[in-house]
Protein backbone atom coordinates (compact mmCIF):
# COMPACT_ATOMS: atom_id res chain seq x y z
CA UNK A 1 0.00 0.00 0.00
CA UNK A 2 2.87 2.30 0.87
CA UNK A 3 4.39 1.85 -2.56
CA UNK A 4 0.98 2.41 -4.17
CA UNK A 5 0.48 5.65 -2.21
CA UNK A 6 3.98 6.81 -3.23
CA UNK A 7 3.21 6.02 -6.86
CA UNK A 8 -0.09 7.89 -6.73
CA UNK A 9 1.59 10.88 -5.07
CA UNK A 10 4.26 10.93 -7.76
CA UNK A 11 1.67 10.78 -10.53
CA UNK A 12 -0.28 13.60 -8.90
CA UNK A 13 2.83 15.79 -8.73
CA UNK A 14 3.61 15.04 -12.37
CA UNK A 15 0.03 15.91 -13.33
CA UNK A 16 0.28 19.18 -11.42
CA UNK A 17 3.56 19.95 -13.15
CA UNK A 18 2.04 19.29 -16.56
CA UNK A 19 -0.96 21.44 -15.69
CA UNK A 20 1.25 24.30 -14.54
CA UNK A 21 3.45 24.05 -17.62
CA UNK A 22 0.44 24.40 -19.90
CA UNK A 23 -1.39 27.09 -17.92
CA UNK A 24 -2.57 30.08 -19.97
CA UNK A 25 -0.82 33.42 -19.46
CA UNK A 26 -2.88 36.18 -17.88
CA UNK A 27 -1.59 39.56 -19.08
CA UNK A 28 -0.47 41.67 -16.09
CA UNK A 29 -2.47 44.73 -15.08
CA UNK A 30 -1.53 47.88 -16.98
CA UNK A 31 0.55 50.55 -15.24
CA UNK A 32 -1.62 53.48 -16.29
CA UNK A 33 -4.95 51.67 -16.52
CA UNK A 34 -5.26 48.02 -15.41
CA UNK A 35 -7.58 47.31 -18.33
CA UNK A 36 -4.91 48.21 -20.90
CA UNK A 37 -2.44 45.31 -20.90
CA UNK A 38 0.91 44.43 -22.44
CA UNK A 39 2.24 40.87 -22.45
CA UNK A 40 5.45 39.32 -23.87
CA UNK A 41 4.79 37.30 -27.01
CA UNK A 42 5.44 33.57 -26.58
CA UNK A 43 4.60 31.37 -29.52
CA UNK A 44 4.03 28.20 -27.45
CA UNK A 45 1.75 29.78 -24.82
CA UNK A 46 -1.92 30.70 -24.67
CA UNK A 47 -2.97 34.19 -23.63
CA UNK A 48 -6.10 34.69 -21.54
CA UNK A 49 -8.45 37.46 -22.52
CA UNK A 50 -11.18 38.47 -20.04
CA UNK A 51 -14.19 40.53 -20.99
CA UNK A 52 -17.89 41.11 -20.29
CA UNK A 53 -20.85 40.49 -22.55
CA UNK A 54 -21.29 43.69 -24.54
CA UNK A 55 -17.68 44.88 -24.09
CA UNK A 56 -15.36 45.33 -27.07
CA UNK A 57 -11.68 44.39 -26.80
CA UNK A 58 -8.87 45.65 -29.01
CA UNK A 59 -5.83 43.47 -29.83
CA UNK A 60 -2.84 45.27 -31.34
CA UNK A 61 -0.32 43.08 -33.14
CA UNK A 62 3.17 44.05 -34.28
CA UNK A 63 3.70 46.73 -36.91
CA UNK A 64 3.77 45.22 -40.37
CA UNK A 65 1.73 42.18 -39.41
CA UNK A 66 -1.30 41.33 -41.50
CA UNK A 67 -3.96 38.92 -40.30
CA UNK A 68 -4.27 35.99 -42.71
CA UNK A 69 -6.46 33.47 -40.85
CA UNK A 70 -8.79 33.55 -37.84
CA UNK A 71 -10.19 30.40 -36.20
CA UNK A 72 -12.64 30.69 -33.31
CA UNK A 73 -13.99 27.69 -31.41
CA UNK A 74 -17.44 29.28 -31.16
CA UNK A 75 -17.54 31.76 -34.01
CA UNK A 76 -21.30 32.23 -33.64
CA UNK A 77 -20.78 33.64 -30.14
CA UNK A 78 -18.20 36.26 -31.12
CA UNK A 79 -17.89 39.25 -33.42
CA UNK A 80 -14.31 39.42 -34.70
CA UNK A 81 -13.10 42.13 -37.06
CA UNK A 82 -9.53 42.41 -38.39
CA UNK A 83 -8.08 45.63 -39.82
CA UNK A 84 -4.38 45.56 -40.69
CA UNK A 85 -2.52 44.58 -37.54
CA UNK A 86 -5.53 45.31 -35.30
CA UNK A 87 -8.38 43.05 -34.17
CA UNK A 88 -11.62 43.93 -32.42
CA UNK A 89 -13.52 41.28 -30.43
CA UNK A 90 -16.93 41.37 -28.77
CA UNK A 91 -18.92 38.45 -27.32
CA UNK A 92 -22.46 37.99 -28.61
CA UNK A 93 -23.50 35.77 -25.69
CA UNK A 94 -23.02 35.74 -21.93
CA UNK A 95 -21.69 32.17 -22.01
CA UNK A 96 -19.17 32.30 -24.82
CA UNK A 97 -15.92 30.94 -23.38
CA UNK A 98 -13.86 29.48 -26.21
CA UNK A 99 -10.48 29.54 -27.89
CA UNK A 100 -9.17 31.77 -30.67
CA UNK A 101 -6.24 31.30 -33.05
CA UNK A 102 -4.88 34.12 -35.16
CA UNK A 103 -2.32 33.55 -37.91
CA UNK A 104 -0.53 36.51 -39.45
CA UNK A 105 2.15 36.82 -42.10
CA UNK A 106 4.73 36.57 -39.29
CA UNK A 107 3.34 34.80 -36.22
CA UNK A 108 0.69 32.56 -34.68
CA UNK A 109 -1.32 33.69 -31.64
CA UNK A 110 -3.47 31.51 -29.36
CA UNK A 111 -6.06 32.96 -26.98
CA UNK A 112 -8.43 31.68 -24.35
CA UNK A 113 -11.51 33.89 -24.47
CA UNK A 114 -13.31 34.14 -21.14
CA UNK A 115 -16.58 36.02 -20.66
CA UNK A 116 -16.83 37.04 -17.00
CA UNK A 117 -20.26 37.12 -15.31
CA UNK A 118 -21.60 40.64 -15.45
CA UNK A 119 -22.38 42.01 -11.96
CA UNK A 120 -26.10 42.74 -11.88
CA UNK A 121 -27.14 46.32 -11.03
CA UNK A 122 -23.50 47.43 -10.81
CA UNK A 123 -22.72 50.93 -12.05
CA UNK A 124 -18.96 50.41 -11.75
CA UNK A 125 -18.67 47.10 -13.60
CA UNK A 126 -17.03 48.81 -16.59
CA UNK A 127 -14.15 49.83 -14.32
CA UNK A 128 -13.48 46.24 -13.27
CA UNK A 129 -9.70 45.76 -13.36
CA UNK A 130 -10.13 42.17 -14.58
CA UNK A 131 -11.49 43.39 -17.93
CA UNK A 132 -9.14 43.74 -20.87
CA UNK A 133 -10.04 46.69 -23.07
CA UNK A 134 -6.80 46.65 -25.05
CA UNK A 135 -3.99 44.11 -25.39
CA UNK A 136 -0.63 44.46 -27.12
CA UNK A 137 2.56 42.41 -27.18
CA UNK A 138 6.26 42.82 -26.51
CA UNK A 139 8.53 41.10 -29.01
CA UNK A 140 11.98 40.51 -27.44
CA UNK A 141 13.44 38.85 -30.52
CA UNK A 142 12.35 41.78 -32.66
CA UNK A 143 14.05 44.15 -30.23
CA UNK A 144 17.32 42.26 -30.70
CA UNK A 145 16.91 42.33 -34.49
CA UNK A 146 16.19 46.05 -34.42
CA UNK A 147 19.28 46.67 -32.30
CA UNK A 148 21.40 44.57 -34.67
CA UNK A 149 19.98 46.41 -37.66
CA UNK A 150 20.72 49.73 -35.96
CA UNK A 151 24.30 48.67 -35.22
CA UNK A 152 24.74 47.51 -38.82
CA UNK A 153 23.38 50.81 -40.14
CA UNK A 154 25.71 52.74 -37.83
CA UNK A 155 28.68 50.66 -39.02
CA UNK A 156 27.77 51.30 -42.66
CA UNK A 157 27.40 55.03 -41.99
CA UNK A 158 30.80 55.08 -40.27
CA UNK A 159 32.37 53.23 -43.22
CA UNK A 160 30.83 55.71 -45.70
CA UNK A 161 32.03 58.63 -43.61
CA UNK A 162 35.56 57.18 -43.48
CA UNK A 163 35.57 56.58 -47.25
CA UNK A 164 34.39 60.16 -47.89
CA UNK A 165 37.04 61.45 -45.49
CA UNK A 166 39.75 59.55 -47.37
CA UNK A 167 38.44 60.83 -50.71
CA UNK A 168 38.49 64.42 -49.43
CA UNK A 169 42.03 63.95 -48.10
CA UNK A 170 43.16 62.51 -51.45
CA UNK A 171 41.55 65.39 -53.35
CA UNK A 172 43.17 67.92 -51.01
CA UNK A 173 46.55 66.24 -51.48
CA UNK A 174 46.27 66.59 -55.24
CA UNK A 175 45.12 70.20 -54.89
CA UNK A 176 48.06 71.02 -52.63
CA UNK A 177 50.46 69.40 -55.10
CA UNK A 178 48.99 71.47 -57.90
CA UNK A 179 49.43 74.69 -55.92
CA UNK A 180 53.04 73.82 -55.09
CA UNK A 181 54.08 73.64 -58.76
CA UNK A 182 56.26 76.56 -59.82
CA UNK A 183 54.83 78.74 -62.55
CA UNK A 184 56.84 78.75 -65.74
CA UNK A 185 56.61 80.74 -68.94
CA UNK A 186 52.99 81.36 -69.90
CA UNK A 187 51.87 80.05 -73.27
CA UNK A 188 48.65 81.59 -74.58
CA UNK A 189 48.82 80.31 -78.14
CA UNK A 190 45.52 78.38 -77.97
CA UNK A 191 42.87 78.22 -80.71
CA UNK A 192 39.32 76.88 -80.31
CA UNK A 193 36.43 75.86 -82.57
CA UNK A 194 33.03 74.43 -81.66
CA UNK A 195 30.01 75.11 -79.46
CA UNK A 196 30.25 78.63 -78.06
CA UNK A 197 28.47 77.76 -74.78
CA UNK A 198 31.40 75.60 -73.60
CA UNK A 199 34.24 77.49 -75.28
CA UNK A 200 36.66 78.92 -72.69
CA UNK A 201 37.13 82.69 -72.63
CA UNK A 202 40.82 82.17 -71.84
CA UNK A 203 43.24 79.28 -72.34
CA UNK A 204 46.92 79.09 -71.42
CA UNK A 205 49.57 76.88 -69.82
CA UNK A 206 52.67 77.36 -67.69
CA UNK A 207 54.67 74.53 -69.16
CA UNK A 208 53.18 71.99 -66.77
CA UNK A 209 49.44 72.64 -66.43
CA UNK A 210 46.76 73.85 -68.82
CA UNK A 211 44.26 76.44 -67.59
CA UNK A 212 40.81 76.82 -69.19
CA UNK A 213 38.73 79.73 -67.89
CA UNK A 214 34.98 79.86 -68.63
CA UNK A 215 32.30 82.49 -68.40
CA UNK A 216 30.24 82.79 -65.17
CA UNK A 217 27.24 80.94 -66.64
CA UNK A 218 29.08 78.37 -68.71
CA UNK A 219 28.82 74.66 -67.77
CA UNK A 220 32.03 72.85 -66.89
CA UNK A 221 32.78 70.27 -69.61
CA UNK A 222 34.85 67.12 -69.44
CA UNK A 223 38.33 67.50 -70.92
CA UNK A 224 39.97 64.94 -73.22
CA UNK A 225 43.36 64.81 -74.93
CA UNK A 226 43.22 64.00 -78.64
CA UNK A 227 46.07 61.80 -79.84
CA UNK A 228 47.68 61.78 -83.29
CA UNK A 229 45.44 58.87 -84.30
CA UNK A 230 42.38 60.82 -83.04
CA UNK A 231 41.83 58.74 -79.93
CA UNK A 232 40.41 60.60 -76.93
CA UNK A 233 41.69 60.08 -73.40
CA UNK A 234 39.93 61.56 -70.39
CA UNK A 235 42.21 63.93 -68.46
CA UNK A 236 42.40 64.54 -64.74
CA UNK A 237 41.33 68.04 -63.83
CA UNK A 238 40.94 70.29 -60.83
CA UNK A 239 38.32 73.04 -60.75
CA UNK A 240 39.25 76.37 -59.18
CA UNK A 241 36.36 78.81 -59.39
CA UNK A 242 35.42 79.07 -63.05
CA UNK A 243 38.77 77.70 -64.24
CA UNK A 244 39.50 74.08 -65.08
CA UNK A 245 43.12 73.16 -64.33
CA UNK A 246 44.21 70.29 -66.57
CA UNK A 247 46.98 68.36 -64.87
CA UNK A 248 49.19 68.11 -67.98
CA UNK A 249 49.90 69.64 -71.37
CA UNK A 250 48.37 68.46 -74.63
CA UNK A 251 48.70 69.42 -78.27
CA UNK A 252 44.98 69.01 -78.88
CA UNK A 253 42.08 69.01 -76.42
CA UNK A 254 38.42 68.08 -76.80
CA UNK A 255 35.79 69.53 -74.46
CA UNK A 256 32.48 67.68 -74.11
CA UNK A 257 29.27 68.50 -72.30
CA UNK A 258 26.41 66.28 -73.44
CA UNK A 259 26.30 66.65 -77.22
CA UNK A 260 28.17 69.96 -77.15
CA UNK A 261 31.79 69.71 -78.36
CA UNK A 262 34.74 72.10 -78.61
CA UNK A 263 38.15 71.34 -80.11
CA UNK A 264 41.19 73.26 -78.85
CA UNK A 265 44.66 73.33 -80.43
CA UNK A 266 47.76 74.31 -78.47
CA UNK A 267 49.97 75.80 -81.20
CA UNK A 268 52.69 76.55 -78.71
CA UNK A 269 52.81 72.94 -77.52
CA UNK A 270 56.11 71.53 -76.29
CA UNK A 271 56.74 68.17 -74.63
CA UNK A 272 59.55 69.58 -72.49
CA UNK A 273 57.35 69.94 -69.44
CA UNK A 274 55.69 66.53 -69.61
CA UNK A 275 56.13 63.96 -66.82
CA UNK A 276 56.13 60.46 -68.38
CA UNK A 277 55.50 58.30 -65.26
CA UNK A 278 51.75 58.84 -65.03
CA UNK A 279 51.04 61.30 -67.81
CA UNK A 280 50.32 63.95 -65.14
CA UNK A 281 52.36 66.21 -62.90
CA UNK A 282 51.22 64.41 -59.72
CA UNK A 283 52.22 60.80 -58.85
CA UNK A 284 48.85 60.51 -57.07
CA UNK A 285 46.98 61.05 -60.36
CA UNK A 286 46.56 58.34 -62.99
CA UNK A 287 45.69 58.87 -66.62
CA UNK A 288 42.52 57.17 -67.94
CA UNK A 289 42.24 56.16 -71.60
CA UNK A 290 38.75 56.42 -73.11
CA UNK A 291 38.03 54.52 -76.32
CA UNK A 292 35.74 56.27 -78.74
CA UNK A 293 33.46 59.23 -78.12
CA UNK A 294 31.46 59.88 -74.95
CA UNK A 295 28.53 61.84 -76.33
CA UNK A 296 25.47 61.75 -74.06
Per residue in 47-71, pLDDT (tens digit) is 999 898 888 999 999 988 999 999 9
Least confident interval from 9-13, 89-93, 231-235, 237-241: 9-13
CATH fold of 21-144, please? Immunoglobulin-like (2.60.40)
Average pLDDT over residues 121-126: 72
pLDDT at 162 (0 to 100): 86
pLDDT at 86 (0 to 100): 95
Q: Do residues 181 and 281 make contact, with C-beta atoms less than 8 angstroms apart? A: yes
pLDDT at 286 (0 to 100): 44
Q: Do residues 87 and 153 make contact, with C-beta atoms less than 8 angstroms apart? A: no
Does pTM surpass 0.75? no
- The pairing of strands 202-205 and 98-104 is unpaired
Average pLDDT over residues 28-47: 90
Map out the domains of the chain as residue ranges.
Answer: 21-144, 190-273
Q: Do residues 85 and 41 make contact, with C-beta atoms less than 8 angstroms apart? A: no
pLDDT at 174 (0 to 100): 64
- The pairing of strands 260-266 and 252-257 is antiparallel
Residue 114: pLDDT band (50, 70, 90) is: very high
In the predicted structure, residue 241 carries a pLDDT above the cut 50: yes
Average pLDDT over residues 141-168: 78
CATH architecture assigned to 190-273:
Sandwich (2.60)
Residue 149: pLDDT band (50, 70, 90) is: confident
pLDDT at 282 (0 to 100): 46
Same fold, 21-144 and 190-273: yes
Residue 271: pLDDT band (50, 70, 90) is: low
Average pLDDT over residues 248-259: 95
Condensed to tens digits (0 to 9), the pLDDT of residues 156-182 reads 888 888 888 887 877 776 666 656 554
pLDDT at 161 (0 to 100): 84
Amino acid sequence: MKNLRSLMTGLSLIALGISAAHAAITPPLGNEDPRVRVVPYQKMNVTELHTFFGVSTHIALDKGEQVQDIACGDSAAWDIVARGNNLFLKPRAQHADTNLTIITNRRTYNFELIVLPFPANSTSAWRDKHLIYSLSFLYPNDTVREQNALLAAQAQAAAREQAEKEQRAHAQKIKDELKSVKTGVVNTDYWAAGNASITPIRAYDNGQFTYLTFGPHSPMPSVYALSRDDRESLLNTNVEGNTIVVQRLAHRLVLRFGKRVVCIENRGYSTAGAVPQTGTISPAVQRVIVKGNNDE
